[in-house]
Amino acid sequence: MLLEKIKTPGLSHLSYLVGSGGQAAVIDPRRDCAIYVEKARAAGLEITHIFETHRNEDLVSGASILAAMTGATVLHGPNPEQPVVYAETARNGDCFPIGQLEIHVLETPGHTDDHLAYALFDTAYPDKAVGVFTGDALFVGD
């Protein structure tokens, strides 16, 4: 399993590249998307999914750019007032396989109305999630 945290220089922004079995997903990509493609290729992975935890008012998402580069599906939370036109809607309970990994969607409105968290499961450890991506809903040390 690949799990890599990617920090955006000069901003308080983290994104993640996860993958296994030839497939990869990116969570909350920045606009400079070449880094994801390069890291995925170096690990022998193809980016198939892009997950956004929420609408970032302080950051321009790279999801549509990365989707154009890779053909990956973009997923975002439900937002009937401001639909995200470049993404499909993910809902609570949806599950997306990424090689031996599974990403489970948790609707967690609060930070934004369309906020999602993504629980990461590894079929090699089936008892519980091995991680969760919360966007800006939980911060280390808070």
- Quick: pLDDT tens for 58-110: 557 899 999 999 999 999 999 877 778 889 999 999 999 999 999 999 999 87
Task: Note the pLDDT of residue 53.
Answer: 92
58 in a domain, yes or no? yes
Total domains in the fold of the chain: 1
Q: Residue 82: inside a domain, yes or no?
A: yes
Cα→Cα distances 95→10, 26, 77, 141, Å: 33, 15, 14, 29
Please check whether residue 142 lies inside any domain of the structure.
Answer: no
Q: Specify which residues 19 forms β-bridges with.
A: 2, 24
Whether 139 is in a domain gets the answer: no
**Tokens coding 115:** 């906020």
Residue 138 lies in a domain: no
The CATH code of the domain that includes 109 is 3.60.15.10
What pLDDT sits at residue 56? Answer: 62
The enclosing H or E element of 102 equals: strand 101-107
Q: What is the pTM of this model?
A: 0.92
Structural domain contains residue 66: yes
Which residues form the domain of 95? 2-133
